[in-house]
Chain A
Amino acid sequence: MADLIPFLQNIANGLLIGGVYALIGVGLTLIFGVMRTINFAHGEFVVLGMYAAIVFNQALGWDPYFSLVVALPAGFLAGVLIQRVILATIVDAPEESSLLATLGLSLIIANSLLLIFGGEPKSVLVPYASSTISLGGGVNLSIVLLLAGIATVAAIGGLYLLLNRTEIGRAIRGTAENRLGAELVGINTKRIHAVVFGIGMMLAVAAGVALIPLLFASPTTTGTVFTLKAFVVTVLGGLGNIGAAIGGGLLLGVVEVLGASYLTSEYRDAYGLVAFILVLLFRPEGLFGRSVQRV
């Protein structure tokens, strides 16, 4: 029994952290599924969310979660703008072009943040940082993690409703299935691409805001870490599959937390990467995906 409680504690923490990873992965996989763009700047979008929360906290004293009110619409608009200005012009170019363009974008974002805010890691200290809620039986949940989890559930729930219950959601799913076909039945796929990239960036920004009370953000390294995590999550689940990205995110969160407490943590990042290569090689459709015959 004594071993069970810390185990449950770890599972709970892992699921909550994993929820945030899922949020990042869902955005990446949505963008890939609809636009076939491998977004290398995704981690930098997360960092932008972190810095937005930091700026609002330092300048106006806002709680990080309150800054979502501004950060979410701003993230959406920035995403639409990036898609319209950069990615829309190379929509028919080879797949590598969008990879290189977003790689360039990630360098621009990371180094601009470095120029503006300097290199030292920053975070936001919230008064409830160490408060917990007891779930009974000795398992406690930190308020910060719980809020991050709630934000994740709300965002993914919202996305689910958007995709399955609205007209624009239908158009997005249609575009993902077959761009030409969607175009033929009157869907403006250019607009859909812009909306999807906006949503993807918004989800990444939300994840950044949710994470900032938990960790420090540094302009040039944090983004890369999250881009890699997002790739691991989405490839584990199968690129382009939203449900699987959620599963992949939760899995990565639990594995990381369990690994850190039961194994030596030196190779924590390597396990994810090895799994990433193996899945890419042997099950490119993802762990939870059905295999699809492609023409």
Chain B
Amino acid sequence: MSKTLNLGIFADDISVDNNRDVTLSNLRSDQPMMFRNRIINGDMQIDQRNSGSAISSHSTFVVDRINCALQGGTASGITVQQSSDVPSNSEFKNSIVYTTSTGGSVGSSGTYGVQQRIEGYNFSDFMYGTDYAKRFTLSFWVKSSVTGNYGIGLRNSAKDRSYIATYSISTANTWEYKTITVSGDTNTSATWLSDNGTGLDIFFSLGVGTNHSTTSNSWQTGNLFGLTGGASPVETSGSTWYITGVQLEEGTVATPFEHRPYGTELALCQRYFCKTGQNIFSGRGNTSSAVFGITTPVSMRSVPTIITNGNIVVYDHDSHESSSTDTVTASGSTTPDGFGFRCIVSGVTAPNNRVHAIESEDTMTFSAEL
């Protein structure tokens, strides 16, 4: 027995046959069902660096892929942290919160906000800098103790093309859902990277000085990422600003937030930052250094910066001597896919001796962030 469905205005787009197979007639090839969202970790869930702890330094990542700016003005006691405060009845587990303890003037050069840089490989299909540049829609949940009009700076890698999108907070301390559609930059003289550099830089302003502020809703020349006269919660003591569910997708419609599998999202993050557990590595030594191989979980964006949490202990398997160091660089013959790392140690190894290395603490981190 078949049922008749009243599909109303969608009748031309959706049909259901007697086998209950559903056919969608007008699926757009340029709006994929998966990987619509070009923002990585937009639900603020993955925090490999801090495990939920607050950061308080400028140009530091609060969660994966979300960098924080907090310098240039007189505000103090600013912290940014992963939070479990999320919109009620929502599918999100986490947000981030930007807290200003003592408010102060932003001045002419203040830079306060949070940012994600989308890699060129993940943005080149938007065809910026051509006559065919595509519109995109940015959607997110936000809650702030300071009402007003906020700016979102969008820039290219060279920081000579800028667009200020805006949204309004009308009620303090209340989660609100925002969607903003942005026209593409069709200026054919503009340079938009399509490689492993920055494709699109997105900056949620929480206070930007007059040197980098401008009017909204048009592409402009210059390094601009704040809204003239826009809200600046860092000027208010005790202010808080939360955000989660950030999505950037092609077109003019904000679709529901795309929840990718956790392992997939983590792998996307690991292209920019990853870390080892406590490991033992085997390699070869010479009289001034020892080289070891490591394979990262995914191909990293560039040859990474390495930070050791404590020293690496290098043992010479042949001489049975050891030395330790925190000077560990990616080897010159490396690629982002997996690479050698070179420990600078002297007086332990003889040429081509077999060596192994142990991390004396718990992690070695690799950063290839934008």
Q: Do A and B bind each other?
A: no
